[in-house]
Chains A and B, each alone.
Chain A
Amino acid sequence: MRAMIWVAAVTAVLMALIGGFCGAYSSDTSRELREQVTQMTAVIRSGDGEAAMAEALRLEDTWREKSALLSLWVNHQDIDDVSVGIQQLKVSVEEGETYHALRCLAELDEALAHLYHRDAFRLRNIL
């Protein structure tokens, strides 16, 4: 009986810790990268190609740093969508295709929002 209480208590704490940590990490990563996407959109609109490339590389570095841990609980397809989006963005910036780069940024923003939205503790997701 005592063992059962312990198992239930430890599992409850573990669940709360895993849930809390995963949720917070996904949300922070999503927010941080989306802020970078917003900044980059402004840079691209200003027409500064070099600054845009620097922003793209910074975005890539941040993503590499964060995605290793995210893949433990985020659907791997969602991770791949962001990785592919960043690569497409880099190519567009390199080629100086402003319209295509802005389209890539919009898609990337959506993919980054999706990282957290799919797991967010909302009635819509539960149902």
Chain B
Amino acid sequence: MFTVFTRTLILYAVSVLAIRLMGKRQVGQLQPYEFVLALMIAELAAAPMENVGTPLLYGIVPILGMMLLHGLATLLSVKSTWFRRLLSGGPSVVIRRGVIQYDEMRRMCYTTTDLMEELRAQGYLNVADVCTAILETSGKLSVFPHGNKRPVTPEDMGISVSYEGIPQTLVVDGRVQKDHLKTCGLTESWLMDRLKPIGYSDPRDVLLASLDTQGRLFVQGKRDGDKMHLLQAMDENKVGW
């Protein structure tokens, strides 16, 4: 079993190295070492599954080994910047002050076509609108337009906006979310007092009920032809989550 574990360790290191050398384009949303983990775990689990002559431990032990290595890699990444850079690499600026950084792109094996494709995916048809673009370690491109091209914000317009927190789902698929009610400091009877006037005497008839931080309750029923109800269920100033 130590042999299996040692082989796992070697294969893991080689796979991470290979993925790192392949460049960020191959990685997608995951960090390189997480990507390797996902690939290898699927393969390790599949082998003993399809061959009953192979003991199950031959699949389980390497996966445990991968878990251990991943845990250690994550811990070391949190503790050490050097290790994090070694394992995941660092972000690369591919457009700086509106200028495409060709050398950096070449180093990353990132083509102009890839760049244009990602910019379009982010909603930028014209590269001239982009001030900064950063290729993240996950392979995702973060795009920031020139100041005069970015959308207008309420701050630009001098408009004050109230707090926008996470809306709490109070009923999901007919089931009352008691934990969420508790988070809001509300009770089931409070909820029923709001649902009954709009035609729901039983929460099981409700598909979704959600309370936002402006105190508005959105309710959608399960029955055919049910509309979305929007009502001011509580005072905005009393929202405490």
Which residue of chain A has its CB nearest to the CB of B60?
Answer: A18
Mask of A1-25 contacts with B, CB within 8 angstroms, 1/0: 1001101100110110011001100
In the bound assembly, the distance between CA atoms of A101 and B138 in angstroms comes to 64
- A18, B61: Cβ atoms under 8 Å? yes
A126 touches B1 (CB 8 A): no
Q: Does A77 contact B (CB under 8 A)?
A: yes
Whether A19 lies near B55 (C-beta < 8 A) is no
Q: Shortest distance in angstroms between B54's beta carbon and chain A's nearest beta carbon?
A: 7
Chain A residues with CB under 8 Å of B192's CB are none
State the interface size on chain A (CB cutoff 8 A): 26
B1, B7, B65: the one within 8 Å of A73 (CB): B1
Asked if A99 lies at the interface with its beta carbon under 8 angstroms from chain B, I say no
Given the interface contacts A15-B61, A22-B57, A74-B55, does A8 sit within 8 Å of B71 by beta carbon? yes
Knowing A72-B55, A126-B3 are in contact, say whether A8-B75 is a contact too (CB < 8 A).
Answer: yes
Q: Which of A37-45, A59-67, A103-111, A116-124 contacts B (4 or more CB under 8 A)?
A: A116-124
A71 within 8 A of B: yes
Contact flags (1/0) for A58-89 with B, using CB distance below 8 Å? 00000000000001111111000000000000
Is there contact, CB below 8 Å, between A23 and B1? yes
Q: Which of A15, A72, A122, A125 has the most CB of B within 10 A?
A: A15
How far apart are the CA atoms of A19 and B1 in the complex, in Å?
Answer: 5
Given contacts A71-B55, A121-B6, contact A11 B74 (CB under 8 A): no
Residues of B within 8 A of A4 (CB): 71, 74-75
Which residues from A are CB-within-8-Å of B54? 75-76
Give the docked Cα–Cα distance between A74 and B54 (Å). 8
Across the interface, which residues of B come within 8 angstroms of A12, CB to CB?
A: 68
Does B152 belong to the interface (CB within 8 Å)? no
Q: Which of A14, A73, A126 contacts B6 (CB 8 A)?
A: A126
Sample of 9 further A-B pairs with CB below 8 A, known A11-B68, A120-B3, A125-B3: A7-B67, A7-B71, A8-B71, A11-B67, A15-B64, A72-B57, A73-B55, A76-B54, A126-B7
Residues of B within 8 A of A (CB): 1-7, 10, 52-58, 61, 64-65, 67-68, 71-72, 74-75, 78
The 5 closest A-B pairs by CB, nearest first: A8-B71, A19-B1, A121-B2, A11-B68, A76-B53
